[in-house]
Structure 1
């Protein structure tokens, strides 16, 4: 165990991981499994039903997985920026200079 303090948020709220980041991990995992299935299809029996599916639909699967991953990652970043934005200073909150 470390004796170092945990990083805290400025407003002292606990930091919750964005749902879309978790979803991005799932989509990326599916993408990696599909790529590994492509590699296995190269060395496998071409008459196998799983390999026939990969050979027939594999390109479409990769395409849709890449699109899904891009959408989920962009949404994760947008939500993260939205959560972490600070309110802008209004004209009444600006410090006044004394001359």
Structure 2
């Protein structure tokens, strides 16, 4: 194993772990007012495409990071769709 794979796994861990606090806070508070639906929709699609890319290359740091990030991003996106509607008036 060369130096690139451990660096990839370290980067994957750090970038994926950065989503955990946002997901946890959103689960706890149900407050999605500061989350952009457009941004999270585009981001989630982008992560899904990165996952497909990683799978096609068998680049495991990319696959692992994006699989976990996709699950977290989807959870936040679903909460935005579910809790983000404001009552009329």
> TM-score by structure 1 length?
0.47
- The unaligned stretches of length 5 or more in structure 1 are 1-18, 86-99
Query: How many positions carry a matched residue from both structures?
Result: 58
- The unaligned stretches of length 5 or more in structure 2 are 1-31
Give 1:43 deviation, angstroms: 2.5
Q: Using a 3 Å threshold, how does the CA distance of structure 1 residues 57 and 28 change in structure 2: closer, same or farther?
A: same
Partner of 2:74: 66
Distance 1:30 1:21 in 2: 15
Structure with more relative contact order (C-alpha pairs < 8 Å, separation 6 or more):
2
Are 1:29 and 2:42 counterparts? Answer: yes
Distance 1:57 1:43 in 2: 15
> TM-score by structure 2 length?
0.51
- Greater Rg by CA: 1
The alignment's C-alpha RMSD in Å is 2.5
